[in-house]
Amino acid sequence: AQKITQTQPGMFVQEKEAVTLDCTYDTSDQSYGLFWYKQPSSGEMIFLIYQGSYDEQNATEGRYSLNFQKARKSANLVISASQLGDSAMYFCAMRGEDTGGFKTIFGAGTRLFVKA
Amino acid sequence: NAGVTQTPKFQVLKTGQSMTLQCAQDMNHEYMSWYRQDPGMGLRLIHYSVGAGITDQGEVPNGYNVSRSTTEDFPLRLLSAAPSQTSVYFCASSKYRGGTDTQYFGPGTRLTVL
């Protein structure tokens, strides 16, 4: 069965510093996708970054990068140069072929607080 | 493109009432799904659809019905609301159902059942 684990319920980071949000996953699929979403206090789910299981390079999108370690089954999100607007809930998610790709599994989330 | 839209944004129901949460997308996506978000539990899949006329159950389907008569619309019906259905509901869509395909979410509907 697929599972996503986010072990950090809350994180604090100083403005302009980098922060890493942890995510580990479990799947028996060979082909899968890993996603990070941001949920600000307004409630919407904003797609940040995607990593495919066969991608050899770590994904990057602006200040976001995904540290993908396939053997360890980890997909940590790195936010560089944190901004006050980065304060939000962050969800790691996985979509695989185990159930025909229909199901996206989400972790419980990490709440990030950026301090001025 | 408006993306994924949901109505209403907020709703209060009494136990036993029924209602329909609306979801529409204008991106010609084949795959649409409904999730509920409860505190500390992330998002859980309620129902999904891989195209017009085709729907199936997710993790937590009890108490909900769906239908997909067009590619654009995917309404979620609560048959007889219960306090346990108090949650935030998200509709999502993606072009295909594959593991490499990003899902895009609507703004959510916050439902309270008294």
Q: Where are the beta strands (DSSP E) in chain A?
A: 3-5, 10-14, 19-21, 24-26, 32-39, 46-52, 60-61, 64-69, 74-79, 88-96, 104-106, 110-115
Q: Is the CB of B11 inside 8 Å of chain A's CB atoms? A: no
Chain B residues closer than 8 Å to A96 by CB? 99
Q: Is the CB of A102 inside 8 Å of chain B's CB atoms? A: yes
The pLDDT tens digits of the residues spanning B6-27 come to 999 999 999 999 999 999 999 9
The pLDDT tens digits of the residues spanning A21-33 come to 999 999 888 888 8
A95: closest CA of chain B, how far (Å): 5
Q: What string of DSSP letters covers A3-31?
A: EEE---SEEEEETTS-EEE--EEE---SS
**Residue B42 CA: distances (Å) to CA of A50, A82, A92:** 18, 24, 9
Chain A residues closer than 8 Å to B3 by CB? none
Neighbours of A56 (CB within 10 A): 7
For residue A101, pLDDT beyond 70: no
For residue B93, pLDDT beyond 80: yes
For residue A96, pLDDT beyond 90: no
For residue B100, pLDDT beyond 90: no
The CA dihedral of B89, B95, B99, B103, to the nearest 10 degrees, is -30
Characterize B77-95 residue by residue with b for buried, 16 or more Cβ atoms within 10 angstroms of its Cβ, and e for exposed: ebeebeeebbbbbbbbbbe
Mean pLDDT of B19-46: 92
Most confident of A1-5, A41-45, A109-113: A109-113
SS3 A86: helix
Q: Two tokens at B20?
A: 């329909």
Percent of chain A with pLDDT over 70: 95
Alpha-carbon gap, residue B34 to B58, rounded angstroms: 9
- pLDDT bin (cut points 50, 70, 90) of residue B88 is very high
